[in-house]
Chain A
Amino acid sequence: MSKQILSPLPGTFYRKPSPDQPDFKAVGDAVAIGDVIGLIEVMKSFNEVQADQAGTVTAFLADDEEPVMAGQPLMDLG
């Protein structure tokens, strides 16, 4: 059964903590509940996106620096 992590907020999605650092998660990585999988920038403030489900990353559904809506799927977990 496929599981998704949804954006809790509207804003800009970032996959890495800062431009010169590696991604929080890559396809194939294990995700535990509470893991930070990305950041959402809302009005110049940065908010961590924490996984509310566990699994293995099978696909990203939003690109780095992509504008997202609240409730929009960010990644698929297998």
Chain B
Amino acid sequence: MPIARLLIANRGEIAVRIIRAARELGIATVQVYSAADADMLAVRMADEAVLIGPPMAVKSYLNIAAILKAAADSGADAVHPGYGFLAESADFADAVVAAGMIWVGPAGDAIRVMGDKVAARVAAVAAGVPVVPGSDGRMADFAVAQGLAERIGFPVMIKAAAGGGGRGIRIAQDMAELERLMPQASAEAKAAFGDGGLYMEKVITKARHIEVQILGDGTRAVHLFERECSLQRRRQKVWEEAPSAALPPAMRERLCASAVALAEAVGYKGAGTCEYLFDDATGEFYFIEMNTRIQVEHPVTEMITGIDLVRDMLRIAGGEPLRHAQADIQPRGHAIEVRICAEDPAQGFKPGPGTVTTLTVPGGAGVRFDTMLYQGYTVPPFYDSLLGKLIVWDEDRPSAIARMARALDELQVEGLPTTKPLHQALARDAGVLAGDFHTRWLEPWLELNADSLGSKV
């Protein structure tokens, strides 16, 4: 049954994004908001807005009871969770369905399986998707570890089977070190968890982060090619592109096919992303996890495929089958997204909420700015620092980078610090232009280039 009235259980730029997609489908929108968000853009745009609680997220955007009450009171028949907050809460998904509404996303059980690292690894192996080489569970003794290390190659990481929080983790560069470290790691695991069991994983030292976008209707799944998000700071993506500059065509085909296999194996419904590490040196890729929601960086995929992912999520949730055959989805050109955050790159990325006194949005061919900002808006201090995403498309990667530099020059946000100077510096960097980076590239680069990240007027 098509959705008639959609509640958006999120805030910021993604709430705006969802309202736009809903409006194009003739769906009415209900925007929930906290007491700190009465002035946000999504509240102004939605057909109806409902206050759900005080500023603290646990009392508002993470408050399942308050959101369900808002949905019932406003007559919503569906809930879109966006990303973050409750987007990957299987319990919330189940509660929405139990309340008689449509959940815009995969079933609670699919979220549960893919959200558990061990279960997701098992599902991936069963679907024939390569995972980081290692032991399937605990190793009986050193002889087993020795045989495994010989097979997968050093360096290897040994971890507490019962553990978490980094305790009991050791990295061994060779067999002698492995033999020396195993008793230590086992003793530490025993002391911390009462269980000295260890498992092993290969250490991927220099990897690129590559992820595959998929859409599924519960029966069939298609991929919409990959995104590369190797430029990260503190494991947060900073700059994303599609396609990856590093992936040979044959590898792309295998990678994307593996994501479709995994999605179909779990009966996946909606938009999802399979994340992989891609080892430049060996040309191997390894599944790490699946995100069962729309992602921040989805627009780069929309730009190269021409497919509106959020709108398709709403159609699928409303009961339509997938609208595209795999062969109909063809990538064209190159797209880049940069995250504009309320942080000062010249001061260690210190967050800086405040009031937008001037806003000039870049325009022209191939430029898109998905944002929560408007002139006069006061960015509250209680939530994520993401203000908007500047996305460009062009025929090829060098042109797209030049277009990004041009669009960044046009973008003016005054009244609070933003990460624009970081992206301006990246768009001029030889390593970025060459596409020669990996997930641990940006942090040392930031230390070396700290002086060039000051705000330029």
Contacts and interface: CB of A to CB of B under 8 A. Distances in A.
A12 B382 contact: yes
A48 to B, nearest CB: 14
A42 B353 contact: yes
A44 B54 contact: no
Contact of B56 (A12, A43, A44, A45): A12
A10 B381 contact: yes
B232 interface: no
A9 B351 CA distance: 10
Contacts of A43: 342-343, 351, 353, 381-385
A11 B383 CA distance: 9
Contact of A67 (B36, B342, B350, B385): B36
Interface string A54-74: 000000000001010000000
A46 B281 CA distance: 38
Contacts of B36: 67
Contacts of B381: 9-12, 41-43
Interface in B13-61: 36, 54-56
B353 A67 contact: no
Contacts of B54: 67
Nearest to B59: A65
B384 A67 contact: no
Nearest to B54: A67
Nearest to A45: B351
Interface residue tally on A, bucketed by range: 10 to 19
Contacts of A41: 381-382
Interface of A is mostly: strand
B56 A67 contact: yes
Contacts of A12: 55-56, 381-382
Given A12-B55, A12-B56, A67 B351 contact: no
B55 A42 contact: no
Contact of A10 (B353, B383, B385): B353
Interface string B348-360: 0011010000000
Nearest to B380: A10
Contacts of B353: 10-11, 42-43
Contacts of B351: 42-45
Interface in A25-57: 41-45
A42 B382 CA distance: 6
Q: Which residue, B350, B381, B382, B385, has most C-beta atoms of chain A within 10 A?
A: B381
B382 A11 contact: yes
Contacts of A9: 381
Given A10-B353, A67-B36, A44 B55 contact: no
Contact of B384 (A10, A11, A44): A44
Interface in B355-411: 380-385
Contacts of A65: 56
A65 B56 CA distance: 8
Interface string A3-32: 000000111100000000000000000000
Nearest to A68: B381
A44 B350 CA distance: 11
A67 to B, nearest CB: 5
A41 B343 CA distance: 14
Nearest to A65: B56
Interface string B172-199: 0000000000000000000000000000
Nearest to A40: B381
Interface in B318-371: 342-343, 350-351, 353
A45 B382 CA distance: 10
Contacts of B350: 45
A41 B380 CA distance: 12
Q: Which residue, A9, A42, A43, has most C-beta atoms of chain B within 10 A?
A: A43
A35 to B, nearest CB: 22
A65 B58 CA distance: 11
A65 B383 CA distance: 14
A23 to B, nearest CB: 18
Contacts of B55: 12, 67
Nearest to B343: A43
Contacts of A45: 350-351
A58 to B, nearest CB: 27
A41 B383 CA distance: 9
Contacts of A44: 351, 383-385
B57 to A, nearest CB: 9
Given A42-B353, A45-B350, 11 more contacts: A10-B381, A11-B353, A11-B381, A12-B56, A41-B381, A42-B351, A43-B381, A43-B383, A44-B351, A44-B383, A67-B54
9 contacts: A11-B353, A11-B382, A12-B56, A12-B381, A41-B382, A43-B353, A43-B381, A43-B382, A65-B56
